[in-house]
Amino acid sequence: MPSENKLLDNLNIEQKKAVLDTEGPNLIVAGAGSGKTRVLTTKLAYIISEKRAWPNQILCVTFTNKAAKEMQNRVLGFIKGESSAVPWLGTFHSISVKFLRRHAEAIGFKSNFTILDTDDQKKLIKKICEAENIDAKKISPQFIIAFIDNWKNKGLMYEDIKIKKNNLLETQILKVYSIYQKKTQDLNAMDFGDLILFTVKLFENNNDIADIYRKNFKYILVDEYQDTNFIQNKWLKLLVNSNQNICCVGDDDQSIYSWRGAEIKNFLTFDKIYPNCKVYKLEQNYRSTKNILETASGLISNNTSRVGKKLWSSEIDGETVKLNCYSNGKDEAAGVSDIIEKKIKEKYSLNNVSILVRAIYQTREFEERFLKIGLGYRVLGGIRFYERAEIKDAISYLRIVNQKFDDLALERVIGSPKKGVGDATLKKIYDFAINKKLCLEDAIINLIELNQFKPKIKKTFSILIKMIEKWRKEAKVIKHYDLLKIILDESGYSSMIKNKKDLENENRLENLKELIRAMQDYDNLQNFLEHVSLATSADQKWEGEKVNLMTMHAAKGLEFDVVFLPGWEEGLFPHQKSLQEKGDFALEEERRLAYVGITRAKKEAFLSFAMRRAYQGDWMDAIPSRFINELPEDNIEKNEILEDESKDDFDFNQDNSIELGEEYRSPGWDRLKKRLVKWKK
């Protein structure tokens, strides 16, 4: 058995205090890079090694299976030779399955119940919608599932929900919810939301069963507590016994998943739930330099809804955080790539360089630039811009307008938006085309003339062919990017996305707007389509030295030597839609997201913004993000406007001197001038 000192050898003073205090409720506020996993794992091993509890008497909850496996392996490494595997270590869902397998009959299920995956859910929801005459084209099964999951995250069964009379959408979804739950019970099946919700119902309605586990679990340890939702927190409270030996670890400053149901108030009100709790703050960071930490800490200190802490490091000051201004988004991508090529590649592996964006459509300009200069990249947690479904759909319309013999493009156009054309009809068209040696479009025209389609299909194809012919005529007289706007409207594609209740539609719309912006860089449609072909055919192997592109949300939990954070402009970051929907609450979450982004950097961080952004073909003035004003001056190096030398949109001297009486440019320009004067002082 290793000694206490052996287990605690690699911990700092605060980490040791947090580990050694095993009795009563504890909240460990662990800043980014402060070693929270090490502390939680050590605490688990310490409890076992000190024989305060047997491994099966400890409930340890993580948010991912990967985290659970890593923690299990670490504990086994700490206590070699002991029977130290922790059977109740896992995610909320995996542990709930164990409870429900044992006690399924108590809630009206059999112990061999099936767990539905997302595809199973979609199929079942789709069938219910068809039976209830709910148009799945307007309300996607995925959207309904998300709505139901949200109710379940709040602990609401369908009979608990009250809908306002005039809310037709929620009324329809509630009806689907009630039918869905009855059908899943008939099928002896549960979805992932059910696993936690039914466990809570099991314990609430069967105190004798709940008491078995409360008596068994002497200690409860919880990782990433800031990401818990209402029902998960209730799940925990039902399992805490009278000794209240619950220890929750997390960082309120990294609570960025409210859109997934996470409730930061669970973390902030921990001392209200458990009045006798002790709070330990892990503020020593082992990841980043002082300048990076002080920048992040200075920014997040502007939030009011937080426990409060200040990260520090014994490491060197390191490079100052760079703040660069560019004339536009294209110059920003070029500027970032130049820094990587000229400075970063010499010092760091590209695998340890990351570009973190607020919105996924922002990757496009960086992808374009990297392809142009031959710099390898990978998109983590997402798909390359020109491979996204809505982009491929739009380009298929452009391809068939440009070239009538593009059968693959026409087939995709027929299917999006859906036009009621089935596989049998498509086979009929292909067979006719092969037999007559025609392209798909001519085959359709011939079959229409021969009256070989059913009336409804005939009408559909007749309208489509006429629209394509019209677009080809318009392509000769209007700009290609204006043509795409017309195509998206007249084809019904824009309406399909705007009107359909779907989780990803906001991103799809933004991606299509970015596509229109991209087309402006090319003289004509032919040149643009050639560019797309080259971009999509470029070698994109995952392995090798590559810059990482991802959203800030996807970056949580990761770290890189160098991080670039572009697009720090009002409306983009903080995101306008978030602010409109949730106001000050959203602003604080956006600031936490900025904090997460900055603290991913170990050695160097680069922030940037542009003076102008293109939006659906039009240039819009941009205003630097309010977060820039909140960055501590001592840790930031602010640079002049950087732009392509071939452009003269802005005339900035190297010494950042400003003539305040010069010609008016824009609100963003005016605001920047004032700031640069302040910086100069």
Query: CA 589, CA 305: separation in Å to the nearest integer?
Result: 10
Of 152, 327, 298, the closest CA to residue 636 belongs to 298
Of 471, 473, 447, 479, the closest CA to residue 460 belongs to 447
DSSP letter at 342 equals I
Catalytic residues: 36-37, 223-224, 254, 600
Q: What angle do CA 490, 495, 501 make, to 5 degrees?
A: 165
Token pair recorded at residue 668: 């963003």
Q: Report the number of secondary-structure helices (H) and strands (E) in the chain.
A: 30, 16
Contact present, 565 and 356 (Cβ < 8 Å) = yes
CA atoms within 13 A on the CB side of 266: 26
H or E stretch including 493?
helix 493-499
H or E stretch including 273?
helix 270-273
DSSP string spanning 496-551? HHHHSB-TTHHHHHHHHHHHHHHHTTSSSHHHHHHHHHHHHHS---SSSS-EEEEE
DSSP string spanning 48-79? HHTTSS-GGGEEEEESSHHHHHHHHHHHHHHS
H or E stretch including 203?
helix 192-205
Query: CA 674, CA 226: separation in Å to the nearest integer?
Result: 39
Query: CA 147, CA 578: separation in Å to the nearest integer?
Result: 18
How far, rounded to the nearest angstrom, does the alpha carbon of residue 82 sit from its chain's CA centroid? 40
Q: How many CB atoms lie within 10 A of CB 30?
A: 29
Query: CA 54, CA 118: separation in Å to the nearest integer?
Result: 37
Query: CA 290, CA 298: separation in Å to the nearest integer?
Result: 12
